[in-house]
Amino acid sequence: MISHWRGRAPERHAFTLGLHHGLFCVGCCWALMLLMFVVGAGSLGWMLTLAAVMAIEKNISWGRRLSSPLGVALMAWAVLLVASHA
C-alpha cells in the first residue's frame, strides 16, 4: 500500500490511501470480520483466540502453513455442529 503514496498533498493523500486500504481489507476479509463480530459479541475468550490465530498467520514465518489445515478443521467442526443440531 505504501508504494501508492505520492505525498504531494499529505493530508488528502493520507486519507485516500487509508480509505483505499480499508476498502481492500473489507473486500477481502468481510467473512472473517463478520465471524469476529459474531463471536466477539458472544465470548471474549473466543474473540481473543481467533485474534491470536490471525496474528500468527499474518506475522510469523510458518503462519501461512497453518491456514489450510486450520480452515479444514474449522469447516469440519462447523459441519459437525450443524449435523448435531439438525
How many Cβ atoms are within 10 Å of 76's Cβ, its own excluded? 10
Domain count, the chain: 1
Residue 74: phi and psi, rounded to 5, are -65, -40
Residue labelled with grid coordinates 468481510: 30
Structure pTM? 0.50
Separation CA 76–CA 82 (nearest Å): 10
Domain containing 24: what range?
A: 2-85
Task: Using a pLDDT cut of 90, give the percent of the chain over it.
Answer: 8
Mean pLDDT of 44-50: 82
pLDDT at 26 over 70: yes
Residue 14, pLDDT score: 84
The Cα-based distances of 5 to 9, 18, 22 in angstroms read 10, 10, 15
pLDDT in tens, 30-46: 777 787 777 777 778 88
pLDDT at 79 over 90: yes
